[in-house]
Amino acid sequence: MTPGGLPSRTAPRGAATTRRRAPSPLSVAVVLLALSAGCAHRTGLPAAAPPAAEVAVRLIPLAGGAADRAEEFSGLAWHGDELVMLPETLGLGKGPDGRRLAPGPQRVWLLDRAALVDHLAASDGAALVPRALAVTPDLAAWRPGEIDGFEAIAFDGDTAWLLVETNQNDAGDNPAWLVRGVMSGDELALDLDGARAFPRQTDHANTSFEALFRWRGGVCAVYELNSRAVATHPTARCFADDLTPAPPLAFPHLAYRVTDATELDAAGHLWVLNYRYPKTDKSRVDPASEPLARRFGVGPTHARFAQVERLVELAVTADGLTLVDRAPVQLALPAPWEDGGARNWEGIVRFPGGFLVVTDEYPGPTTLLGFVSVPTADADAARDTPP
């Protein structure tokens, strides 16, 4: 047998032999091309894509109420030195009809920056226990049957902004809402009477604006679907401090879902969470032709599994947001999505040496809070004042 497992072609002893010609460079190239095409067929990724590095997420164990996957976290933000973790329904959950928020205690969760630093400095840190902070007023009575949940949160001092997703209506024209609030020592008080509705970018069901970042004294909201196949001219919708509309910012065509964004750094850059769940991907982008994967390549687990978990950097100017010429940070995937390996990261903030990310209820069985080490990301810019 040959080393490749094929039968030997050695002639019997004493038999005449002929000299075999070495394969031509052209035939070798054809064979290699066929093999690489076979790999591309299995993974759905471009055969010629160069290899790329991946970053493992270091999980930070949680205890207490915030560890319950039912909190379904949908955003992260810094309020001074407190990490604010935003549950999608503020802990209320849904009533029997699956549309109305159920009455009950409303909350966000807080973690001290120092506790996070100490935990990551220890080799075997104990689980962290976030504390609950009340949210007022009663949200179950606000636009009953319309509110699906809260998708993002941002702060400027004690001023808070929250994005609200609404339930799909028959016409598909249900809006998004932006709510302003004030954070104090014992509550986050929302001004529901002053909330502003604005149209969604598409009429796709269960989609809305998912990310917020501060911009020129106000905030901008980023839609979750921005691919060329579903959004002709994607934009970030911007608002002044008092929620009056400001000029929108052009947003690049980006595959898959945008689920949250960091604040800007001193250079005017931010990072977004970019996630693909194959079973419900609405961006209509073939991974084999996805531009960032073709340009920068894919990591080993992304070459094996169909889900995508990555961080993408963008620059923000008055002319709009543009992709930075830098490879996305691909997160090492633990398992195929069919086996529960897809982690729906819905919140991100900058943190010294990288980023903190958090999941919603998937994959469970508990909330996943993690640290992504990206030393070159200028991650200390969380304290910087954005342009």
CATH number of 54-383: 2.115.10
pLDDT at residue 121, rounded to an integer: 94
What would the two tokens of residue 251 be?
């947003």
- Across the 387 residues of the chain, what is the mean pLDDT of every consecutive 10-residue run? 37 39 43 38 47 93 97 98 97 87 94 97 91 96 93 98 93 92 96 96 91 97 96 96 97 98 97 97 92 96 96 97 97 96 98 97 97 75 42
Handedness of CA 278, 281, 284, 287 (dihedral sign): negative
What would the two tokens of residue 281 be?
């991907």
pLDDT at residue 18, rounded to an integer: 39
Within 13 Å and on the Cβ side, how many CA atoms surround 30? 5
Within 13 Å and on the Cβ side, how many CA atoms surround 1? 4
Report which DSSP code applies to 264.
Answer: -
249 and 360 Cβ atoms separated by less than 8 Å: no
284 and 230 Cβ atoms separated by less than 8 Å: yes
208 and 167 Cβ atoms separated by less than 8 Å: no
Tell me the CA end-to-end span of the chain in Å, nearest whole number. Answer: 68
107 and 135 Cβ atoms separated by less than 8 Å: yes
pLDDT at residue 378, rounded to an integer: 53
104 and 113 Cβ atoms separated by less than 8 Å: no
Query: pTM, whole model, 2 decimals?
Result: 0.85
- What's the rounded Cα separation, in Å, for the pair 102 and 93? 6
Sequence-separated (6 or more) residues with CB below 8 Å from residue 301:
54, 332, 333, 334
- What's the rounded Cα separation, in Å, for the pair 155 and 162? 9
83 and 111 Cβ atoms separated by less than 8 Å: yes
Can the peptide bond before residue 365 be classed as cis, meaning omega within 30 degrees of 0?
Answer: yes
What CA–CA distances, in Å, run from 77 to 297, 353, 375? 31, 17, 20
- What's the rounded Cα separation, in Å, for the pair 22 and 31? 14
pLDDT digits (tens, 9 = 90+) for 192-233: 999 999 999 998 888 999 999 999 999 999 999 999 999 999
Report which DSSP code applies to 144.
Answer: T
What percentage of the chain's residues is helix, strand, coil (to nearest 5)?
A: 15, 40, 45
